[in-house]
Amino acid sequence: MNNNRKDKDMSLRKRITAYIIIFIISFSSVWVFVPENTALALTIKAEITSGTTYLRVRNSPGGDIMSDSSGNTIFLNGGHSVVIKDNSNSAWYKVKFKYNGESYTGYVSSQYVTEVSDDNGGGDNGGGGYVPDVPTSDVDFESSISSFPESYRPYLRHLHDMYPYWQFKPINTGISWDTLVDNEINKPGAIKSMIYCTSYAPHYNWRSTTVGYNIKTDTWSYFDGPYWYAASDDLVKYYLDPRTYLYEDYIFVFESLSYQAGMQNESGVEAILAGSFMSHAYPEGSPYTYAQIIMSAAEQSGVSPYHIASRIRLEMGAEGGICTFGNSTSYPGIYNFYNIGAFESADGSAALNGLAWAASEGSYGRPWNSVSKSIVGGAQFLGASYISLGQDTLYTQKFNVTNTGNLFWHQYMSAVQAPAVECLTNYEAYRDNNLLGSTMVFKIPVYSDMPSQAVSKPADSGNPNNYLAELNVSGYTLTPSFAVNNKTKYSLIVPESLESITVSARPVNGNASVKGTGTKQLKKGTNVINITVTAQSGSTRNYKLSVVRGDAGSGTNIIDDDDGGDVVAGSKGDLNGDGKISAIDIVKIQRIIVGLDALTDDVLARGDLNGDGKISAIDVVKLQRHIVGLELIQ
């Protein structure tokens, strides 16, 4: 899965404005003639009264119970939006509503129907209503996003073009970006974000080199079994930035995780469970499918069934395990579909820790000695422990910036990519049930002093180790003695009669390259030799060796074999063809942009560094980043 959505096509689509004209016939002091035996056509917005559960709909006043198109009984719950079409019968109201993505008209007992004020412009009041909000005008929409930073707005406008009923609510956290980053990056004793790595997908450049990493041996410590490592600061920053998710599918990390009757249904749950052991399946000994149990858990807990299903799918995987089948030898007959209490440990016993918690007497219906008790109890845990405390989106369950009582802690997930993975299952459930056009609310955090542009995803480009394991000058000893650490400046003094020295170096990681070694001619005075280590990932580290020949006051000679990087003449980035990437190439590309130099096919091939088919300021930035060692031009 490509999580980097920054290269999606952001060209805005042509707006399509839907005009819904609602005629309201009202009575005040004006007499309106109504022919005898003719009823006025009503369109009164209403909802099923809060707290109501399993309300049946009738085909006629007090008549047969209505079923949906699949033959299943229709049940409405509190908050489900309806439109009253006829209230002439005081006991039974004729209502129109949506259920599992389809429109129905039937009769419900009037005592369970509450009219809804239109003062706030309407809404579906629970996500299942028949009449959605009228799309706002451009002026109104711009006003609605005015509290977002300017860098958010192009993304939100694009989403509004596609889905005019979507609403974006800024969550002003009162937290600065630097404070957020400082509290969420991994630190010794506080591993908050991890990345899953295998021999086939090692993700070396996504692993932290500040926590759990030994630069001398080029080895990482794992934090939960042999595959979970501390995520790098840059990767954490990428997933912290809300702008990372402002796309059609990833926006669902900000979707409210509360249950919305009528908007979320059993078929959507089955879409999430497809391909897993739970798909259209019954737990052993249960008369209900996994999807039906999940729907029941949603109604009892107030948590979105799509969130429940995707959380279980993410935690348990497609095949399940000892937490789903009750076959643990340590805790037989115990289930934990959410891995609640499964804290990380180096020996990989997190699952057993979770089963121990599920086996204990306590809240949420424990012990969880059945599939149903685990799924329902776990949903109640999510509702009470997270959603009701303000952590009601996937983003805030991973990065707690809303539950001020436990700010930056009380975070459900440790996998840094978990929200981005889990939100896709929710998006696909809505998409597959043709519900993306419905009114939805997305709660998006805002931080002060954010970077002006969205944080870029670090390249998954190889081992980042750019340290030297050895640095020697034949026949001499460096000051201070060389050691593998963060020190990069060394020196030595040689006789005035010595005209050259031989410098040798070896990187810690065998995939890194070293430039600046070999035989170096010395002038009298101070000679500065630059040695550059380029890691497999492209990151660089510069070592400086100061060699004094005779009197240091005789001048300084810079011996620099790596002033921007030797390349094959005429290759990418080498605009002037001198075999180096340097500031001269930046000047060349700037002259092309402003039209002072001609753009030939050959120059385009060397200067189009981001592969978009043109020369632009982006290519200037990539040149600059290469020169200062932040990025490697391939």
pLDDT grade for 540, boundaries at 50, 70 and 90: very high
pLDDT in tens, 389-436: 889 999 999 999 999 889 999 998 899 999 999 899 889 888 887 778
Asked whether the bond before 367 is cis by omega within 30 degrees of 0, the reply is yes
Half-sphere exposure of 217 (CA within 13 A, CB side): 6
pLDDT value at 13 more than 80: no
pLDDT at position 78, please? 73
Judge whether 171 and 393 are in contact, CB under 8 Å.
no
Q: How far apart are CA 469 and CA 255, in angstroms?
A: 49
Q: Whole-angstrom Cα distance, residue 61 to residue 56?
A: 12
Q: Are 244 and 455 in contact (CB under 8 A)?
A: yes
User: Quick check: 332 pLDDT over 90?
Assistant: yes
Helix (H) or strand (E) holding 345: none
- Exposed, middle or buried: residue 388 (CB in 10 Å: 0-12, 13-18, 19+)? middle
- pLDDT above 60 for 609: yes
pLDDT in tens, 459-478: 888 999 999 999 999 999 99
- Cα distances (angstroms) measured from residue 171 to each of 395, 444, 503, 567: 12, 6, 57, 48
User: ∠ CA 460-464-466 to the nearest 5 degrees?
Assistant: 155
The secondary element (H helix, E strand) that includes residue 15 is none
CA distances for 77 relative to 123, 435, 561, angstroms: 17, 19, 74
Q: What angle do CA 219, 223, 225 make, to 5 degrees?
A: 95
User: Looking at per-residue confidence, does 7 or 214 come out higher?
Assistant: 214
Any idea what DSSP says for residue 84? E
Confidence of residue 627 (pLDDT cuts 50, 70, 90): confident
| CB proximity list for 143: less than 8 A, separation 6 or greater | none
Kindly state the helix (H) or strand (E) to which residue 57 belongs, with its residue range: none
CATH architecture of 468-560: Sandwich (2.60)
* pLDDT band at 564; cut points 50, 70, 90: very low
Indicate the pTM of the whole model: 0.58
| pLDDT on residue 20 | 25
pLDDT-based confidence at residue 578 (cuts at 50, 70, 90): low
Mean pLDDT on 124-141: 46
Domain boundaries, the chain: 20-132, 268-343+355-377, 468-560, 567-634
In angstroms and rounded to an integer, the radius of gyration of the C-alpha atoms of the chain is 32
Asked if the model's pLDDT at residue 565 lies above 70, the reply is: no
DSSP 449-491: T--SSPPPPPP--S-----EEEEEETTB--BSPP-SSS--EEE
29 pLDDT band, cuts 50/70/90, is very low
* Percent share of the chain, pLDDT over 70: 85
Asked whether 148 and 160 are in contact (CB, 8 A), the reply is no
At 561 the pLDDT is 55
49-59: average pLDDT? 81
Mean pLDDT score, 147-156: 94
| pLDDT, position 35 | 32
Report the alpha-carbon distance of residue 216 to residue 270 in Å, rounded: 50
pLDDT over 60 at 611, yes or no:
yes
Residue linked to tokens 């609605």: 144
469 vs 624, higher pLDDT: 469
Question: Which of 11-25, 193-207, 219-233, 284-298 is the least confident region?
Answer: 11-25
**CATH code of the region 20-132:** 2.30.30.40
pLDDT of residue 359: 95
Per-residue model confidence as pLDDT tens digits over 65-111: 998 887 888 888 777 878 898 888 888 999 988 776 678 899 999 88
Task: Assign 124 a pLDDT band (cuts: 50, 70, 90).
Answer: very low
pLDDT score, position 308: 93
Separation CA 462–CA 510 (nearest Å):
12
At 250 the pLDDT is 96
pLDDT band at 358 (very low <50, low <70, confident <90, very high): very high
| Residue-by-residue DSSP string for 86-150 | E-SSSSEEEEEEEETTEEEEEEEEGGGEEE---TT----TTT--SSPPPPPPHHHHHHHTTTS-T
Return the pLDDT at 268: 85
Structure tokens at 270: 């089955």
DSSP string computed for 531-583: EEEE-TTS-EEEEEEEEEES-GGG-EEEEES-SS-B--TTSTT-TT-SSB-SH
Does this chain's domain 468-560 share its CATH topology with 567-634? no
CA gap 342, 356 in Å, rounded: 9
Q: Are 383 and 398 in contact (CB under 8 A)?
A: no
What does the pLDDT look like over 254-291, one tens digit per residue?
A: 998 888 787 788 988 998 898 899 999 999 999 999 99
Which is more confidently placed, 563 or 191? 191
Instruction: Give the mean pLDDT of 558-578.
Output: 61
Bond before 480 cis per omega within 30 degrees: yes
For 481-507, what is the mean pLDDT?
A: 93
Model confidence band, residue 19 (pLDDT cutoffs 50, 70, 90): very low
**What confidence tier does 130 reach under pLDDT thresholds 50, 70, 90?**
very low
pLDDT digits (tens, 9 = 90+) for 376-389: 999 999 889 888 88
Crossing angle (nearest 10°) for helices 266-273 and 290-301: 120
Q: What is the CATH number of domain 567-634?
A: 1.10.1330.10
Mean pLDDT for the chain overall: 83
pLDDT at residue 314 greater than cutoff 70:
yes
Task: Write down the pLDDT at residue 346.
Answer: 56
528 in Cβ contact with 558 (< 8 Å): yes
CB 537 within 8 A of CB 502: no
